[in-house]
Amino acid sequence: EPPAGCPPDVEQLGRATWMFLHTTAAYYPEKPTPTQRANMLMLLRSLPILYPCGWCAEDFGKDLQSNPPQVGGREALSRWLCERHNEVNQKLGKESFDCAKVDERWKDGPSDGRCD
């Protein structure tokens, strides 16, 4: 990891971006308004165009083509995003994440209360 105060490398940028995306999905409304849906779609569709890691952006764009964003509500969106992250995990040879635990990881924390 680069020393504090240095520009992020691909790993740091990835961790920060996934944190932002999973947390935003975890707090996305159960019943989003048309405006909220449209903006979530734009946020996700902007990544293949703007994400500052060229090969990441390109592969994510292909994945979005075959797996359209599920912006109908927080549960569907959180699961969809977990599956997209797992696609990247698989590509990088990382362990797959259990998507049943996505709220525990990004919203509620574990039931033992150690994050409270």
Binding residues for ligand FAD, rule: CB under 6 A, are 10-11, 14-15, 17-18, 22, 47, 51, 55-56, 59-60, 82, 85-86, 88-89, 92, 94, 97, 102, 105
Instruction: Tell me the closest approach of the beta carbon of residue 23 to ligand FAD, in angstroms.
Output: 10
State which residue, 33 or 95, has the beta carbon closest to ligand FAD.
Answer: 95
DSSP letter for each residue of 15-62: HHHHHHHHHHHHTS-SS--HHHHHHHHHHHHHHHHH-S-HHHHHHHHH
Which one, 55 or 65, has the nearer CB to ligand FAD? 55
The string of DSSP letters for 49-79 reads: HH-S-HHHHHHHHHHHHHS----S-HHHHHH
Measured between its terminal Cα atoms, the distance across the chain in Å is: 28
Max Cα–Cα distance, the chain, nearest Å: 42
Smaller CB separation from ligand FAD, 59 or 75? 59
- By beta-carbon proximity to ligand FAD, the closer residue of 77 and 82 is 82
| Closest distance to ligand FAD from the beta carbon of 75 (Å) | 14
Q: Least distance in Å: CB of 14 to ligand FAD?
A: 2
